[in-house]
Structure formats: structure tokens, C-alpha cells
Amino acid sequence: MTQFCGAHVELWDDLRLFVDGNSKITRENGTYENPTPNAFSLPHISTCPGSTEICRKDCYVHGLEKHAPALYAEYRNNERVLHSIMLSTNRVRRSAEIFGDWITMNARKGFRWHVSGDVIHERHARWIVEVCRSASRVPFWIYTKTFEVVPVLLEAQNLTVNLSADRQNLYTARQTWSAFAIDARGRLRFTFMSDDGSVPEDFVDMFDVIFPDYPQRGRDLADPTTHPFWQSLDISARRKVCPADFFGQSHANRCGPCRKCL
């Protein structure tokens, strides 16, 4: 069963950031059974300016907001603190140093941006870059539909940027990937979420990762490979499917051992 964890990072006055994590994304910060917090999140949808109708409807955070209100309240507070940080250049710099030091000490194997939420605007993106630079020995990764800030995010040499595509923003995602992938030297990935079981054939070679939405996952079956979604894919596409999402999570089947997004 997936385990969840959390911790607070004190900034100044009454401001503090909440860091959480779970068994899937621990990336060797702790173990699958006892993960260590390694993610920063915000409220879903309201902080996702590039969201599509598909991702707003199918967002997994809907369930979290309903069933874990205390955790979701922490995400709301993170947004409040983030807006306070954005008030001055000094606050951006100071908070990035404090947060970066905490990450270096507590999540040195890897840190994920936004299990919930996304990059709100360019100033937010630049704060992320400052935190990554402050924790320069830590590998970071992010999934984003805020494609206009991708060139800013790529300024952080220890950040892997995963373009989050679905059927509704696929061509915009491809344009962004085509514009920056070569210079990014492997730090810009192209991911696709299949909500209806389809994977566009003319894009398969470009995709680094394919994420099946909940109805397309085989992990509740005795033999997941019998699922129609899996049967519809050729061998090259099957190799790109997120194993933790499709087959189920375990100590060996999680972010870290799997490096498709990293």
C-alpha cells in the first residue's frame, strides 16, 4: 500500500513551506515502505494556467482534495506562502537558499515539483530555478503544461522538464519540444497521458513516457498485460508506459529505479 509523508520548512515569521511525498515518487529518499518527503505541491487547477479540459476532468488530485482535506490545506498554504515570496527579489533569493539547503539535507536523491499544481507564471519558474541552483547537487524533475516558461526552467542544469501532453495540447507540446529539445541535451522530455486508451501513432517515437489514465491501467488484473490498452500498443510503445501506473507500485517499481522521467 502506498505510504505518504510530510514535513515543514520554516522560512521566516509565520511563513513555512510544506513538503510531502509518497511511496511512488520517493526516488530513494527513504524506502517504498518508509518514504521521505521530497515534493512541493500547490492546489490543482487554479494554479495550472496551461491545463486542458481533459486534465481538469481527470485530475487525480480531485480525490485527494476530497479524502485528505488536511493535506490539501497544506497545498493551499504553500500557494499563500509562494505569493508572499514573490513580493520581492530579496524574498525570492532568501527563500530559495533556505529551501535549497533543506532539500540538500533531506532529499538529496531527488526532488519533484508539483504532485499537485503547476508553474503559475514566469516569476514562479524563476524561483524554481533559484531553488534548484541552491541545491545544485540534487536532481530535480517536473511535469508541466505551462509551456511558455520551459526556456526559463531549462536554465536549471539539474532540472529535468517533462512536457505534459494529452490529446488537447499535443501539437503545442510538440512545438515546444521541437524548439528546445536539442539544446536541452536530454533534460526536456515529452510525456503523454492517454485518457481514452489511444496513443497517436505519428507521435509515439517522440514520447519518452506514456501515462495511462486510471481506466487504462492493468494493475488490478491478475495479468495486467491482458488489458485492452496494453494489447493495443506495439513493443516500442509498451516500453514507454509508466510501469508504476500501469502494473502497480512496489519498492522496485517507482520513481528512481525507473528513470523514464528522470
Mean pLDDT for the stretch of residues 227-253: 97
Position 17 scores a pLDDT of: 98
Whole domain around residue 11: which residue ranges? 4-247
pLDDT for the residue 29 = 95
pLDDT value for 10:
97
Residue 116, in any domain of the structure: yes
Mean pLDDT of 172-197: 97
Mean pLDDT within 40-57 = 97
In angstroms, rounded to a whole number, what is the distance separating the alpha carbons of residues 119 and 113? 9
Mean pLDDT value across the chain: 96
The percent of residues in the chain predicted with pLDDT above 70, rounded, is 100
pLDDT tens digits for range 159-179? 999 999 999 999 999 999 999
Residue 63 lies in a domain: yes
With respect to residue 258, please indicate whether it lies within any of the assigned structural domains: no
**Among the listed residues 11, 59, 10, 3, the one whose alpha carbon sits nearest the alpha carbon of residue 33:** 3
User: In the predicted model, is pLDDT for residue 2 greater than 90?
Assistant: no
Q: Between 69-85 and 122-134, two packed helices, what is the crossing angle to 10 degrees? A: 90
1-26 mean pLDDT: 94
Residue 253 falls within a domain, yes or no?
A: no
As to burial, measured by CB atoms within 10 angstroms (0-12 exposed, 13-18 middle, 19+ buried), residue 140 is: buried
Asked whether residue 40 carries a pLDDT value surpassing 90, the answer given is: yes
Place 181 in a pLDDT band, splitting at 50, 70 and 90: very high
Strand order in the sheet with 4-12: 4-12, 15-22, 39-40, 111-113, 140-144, 159-165, 188-194, 209-212
| pLDDT given at position 156 | 98
pTM (2 d.p.)? 0.96
pLDDT in tens, 128-143: 999 999 999 999 999 9
Q: Indicate left, alpha or beta for 27 from its phi (over 0: left) and psi (-120 to 50: alpha).
A: left
Instruction: Specify the pLDDT at position 224.
Output: 97
- Side-chain-side CA neighbours of 210 within 13 Å: the count stands at 30
What average pLDDT does the segment 10-29 reach?
95
In the chain, the number of structural domains is: 1
Closest by CA position to 254, among listed 262, 226, 71? 262
Give 199-208 pLDDT, tens digit per residue. Answer: 999 999 999 9
Residue 152's pLDDT is 98
pLDDT of residue 157: 98
- Please report whether residue 254 resides in a domain: no
Which amino acid is it at 2? T
Confidence at residue 1, expressed as pLDDT on a 0 to 100 scale: 78
Is residue 165 situated within a structural domain? yes
Between CA 76 and CA 44 the distance in angstroms is 9
Whether 122 has a pLDDT exceeding 90, the answer reads: yes
Q: Could you tell me if residue 256 is inside a domain?
A: no
Q: Which residue is associated with the grid cell 507564471?
A: 121
76 located within any domain: yes
